[in-house]
Amino acid sequence: MIKRWFRREDPARLRVLMVCMGNLCRSPMAEAVLRAKLSQAGLAPVVEVDSAGTHGFRKGSLPDPRAVAQAASRGYSMLGLKSRPLVADDFNRFDLVLAMDRDNLNALRERCPRPEHGRLQLLLSFAAVASVDEVPDPYYGSMAGFEHALDLIEPACDGLLHDLRQRLATPP
């Protein structure tokens, strides 16, 4: 089922933004996972993926080394990713803005113009089967937290990929 989550300004291209608090762990991992899945599906040329943080305190920083290591262990590259803060134009530029947890979703709702609220969702809303709806922040924990985050992100990105395929096949 296609979710009604965005308007397409460019019918030939979709833009997805992954968002967490610092853009150091969860959102860059989700960006890397979705990029890889889009590439494997041949959709990378028509779907742009980026990530940002609701807090810009580490602008320009590389992703957390634990996130990079865990992603690499599953074949995902985070090479070239750097943290950046969410900016007002992101709500115009991206068709879909996916938060990793409710706190970040609420922060997005506070900053996003009301007409664009349909673009905001939790990433895990795309998981076919999920016992939780948030990706917990692994920053202050162990490597197991990063592994758990990827365990949640991967199936959500599978569901998102399915939805994107349907959306791209549907005329605007």
**Are residues 105 and 134 in contact, defined by beta-carbon separation less than 8 angstroms?**
no
Catalytic residue flag (residue 20): yes
Of 15, 20, 25, 66, catalytic:
20
Of 50, 64, 101, 137, which residue is the catalytic one?
137
Q: Within the chain, what is the greatest distance between any pair of CA atoms?
A: 45
Identify whether 26 is a catalytic site residue.
yes
- Angle, CA 29 vertex, CA 37 and CA 26 arms, to 5°: 135
Long-range pairs, 116-120, Cβ under 8 A, ≥24:
116/91, 116/92, 118/4, 118/5, 118/6, 118/7, 119/5, 119/6, 119/91, 119/94, 119/95
Considering 15, 25, 26, 66, which one is annotated as catalytic? 26
For residue 157, indicate whether it is catalytic: no
Catalytically active residues are: 20, 26, 137
